[in-house]
A = this chain, B = another copy of it.
Amino acid sequence: MTPITYPYPQLSEFANNIFLRIGCPPDQARKATDVLLSADLRGIDSHGLARLSGYVRLWEAKRVNSKPDIRIVHESPSTAVVDGDQGLGLVIAPFAMEVAIAKAKTCGTGWVAVRNSNHFGIAGRHAMMALEHDMIGMAMTNASPLVAPTFSVERLLGTNPICVAIPAGQQPPFVADFATTTAANGKLEILQRKNMDAPEGWVQKEDGSPSTDANEVKNGGALIPLGSDREHGSHKGFCLGAWVDIFSAVLSGANYGPWVPPFVSFLAPPADPVGEGIGHFFGAMRVDAFRTTDEFKKHMDNWITRFRAAKTVEGQPHIIIPGDPEREFEAQRTKEGIPLDPKVAEDLKQLGLKLGVGF
């Protein structure tokens, strides 16, 4: 079915009203809306409005607290741990990133681990907060276990994304934002909707054998770490996912590995939690804590320009500088509106009817 395009202000007002209806204070509703819709704007449709009714169901199940007391519970000059009080990750993450930025202002760098949170939208939105301060930003989060480490048939890790956002001068910033699996779960959801197979190396069956069934994860199978198999480095993808899990949750006191609570409300959280909620990790590094901002930006421009000019394989006009595709989406969708899958639009309409918010 053809997507229908909606103006950004209309979708933004709708989401804001939904967040208000579930009890978010106005400033938090606004923040949650901006963060959620940044995914739709940047072309990461799986992480935007498509998840709004899921957040509401978690609130109905009392697994999201719409009036959280988000606070710092431990700190050093360059670090902090934030307890999100079971709030929306969409609100907790910007709070934590602000703490990291404030630490970096006085100390050169700031590093914040978060516990007792929920899904935080796209990592890129948070890491990019550092850019306007001439800082490098980093964001990572753990997530419900869907990924089997190399040689495992058990799902022990989430798709655990990492974002690194680096400011430049004349060039747009370098923004690498990626799941540490071969493919993000959102890519599989697209194939599922189209009844298409997945490429080999994206998923495995319940017994660990290869599969191309895009629905395999629903049947007890698993996503595969970046690398696809041992011979092609999937143990490195496992290292990356494990690193994100440990920084996000073992440092903060959140749940890790197979104990991370599921995002969907119809699956109960594990009965034996090892921490509180899900975990995130954020960093901010002041560029001028290393060299002058002017020098740094001049060389970032040179780096980006040189890579953009790389000689390419036939049929490819240029290599992709991390952040380019999302920025192009954002420019286009800010102007022309956000296309929603009809199923997502219908889901939002039903959500609006239930909560008395016009769509």
Residues of A within 8 A of B (CB): 74-79, 81, 106-109, 111, 113, 149-154, 156, 164, 166, 174, 176, 178-183, 199, 201-202, 207-209, 226-228, 231-233, 235-240, 242-243, 245-246, 250-253, 256-258, 274-275, 285-287, 289-291, 295-296, 299-300, 302-303, 306-307, 310-314, 316, 318-320, 322
- In-complex Cβ contact of A310 among B111, B156, B291 (8 A): B156
Report yes or no: B250 in contact with A274, Cβ–Cβ below 8 A.
no
| Additional A-B contacts beyond A109-B111, A113-B290, A179-B236 (12; CB < 8 A) | A74-B290, A76-B289, A81-B290, A149-B310, A152-B311, A152-B312, A183-B233, A242-B307, A246-B303, A250-B303, A251-B291, A274-B299
Measured CA separation A111–B285 after assembly (Å):
9
Q: Does A199 lie within 8 Å of B77, measured CB to CB?
A: no
How many chain copies?
A: 2
- A154 & B311 in contact (Cβ 8 Å cutoff): yes
Task: Assess whether A313 is in contact with B239, with CB atoms less than 8 Å apart.
Answer: no
Known: A226-B227, A237-B226. A151 touches B316 (CB 8 A): yes
Smallest distance from the beta carbon of A309 to chain B beta carbons, Å?
Answer: 9
A218–B108 alpha-carbon span in the complex (Å) = 42
Checking B245, B285, B306 against A258 with a beta-carbon cut-off of 8 angstroms, the contacting residue is: B306
Residues of B with C-beta under 8 A to A182: 227, 232-233
* Smallest CB gap from A176: residue in B: B239
Q: Complex formed: what's the CA distance from A306 to B157 in Å?
A: 12
Q: Please, how many angstroms separate the alpha-carbon atoms of A275 and B299 in the complex?
A: 9
Question: How many angstroms between the C-alpha atoms of A228 and B66 in the bound complex?
Answer: 43
Whether A107 lies near B156 (C-beta < 8 A) is no
Identify 10 residue pairs between A and B in the complex whose beta-carbon atoms are under 8 Å apart, listed by A's number: A76-B107, A78-B78, A79-B108, A151-B313, A154-B311, A226-B236, A227-B228, A227-B233, A246-B303, A250-B300
Q: Are A312 and B153 in contact (CB under 8 A)?
A: yes
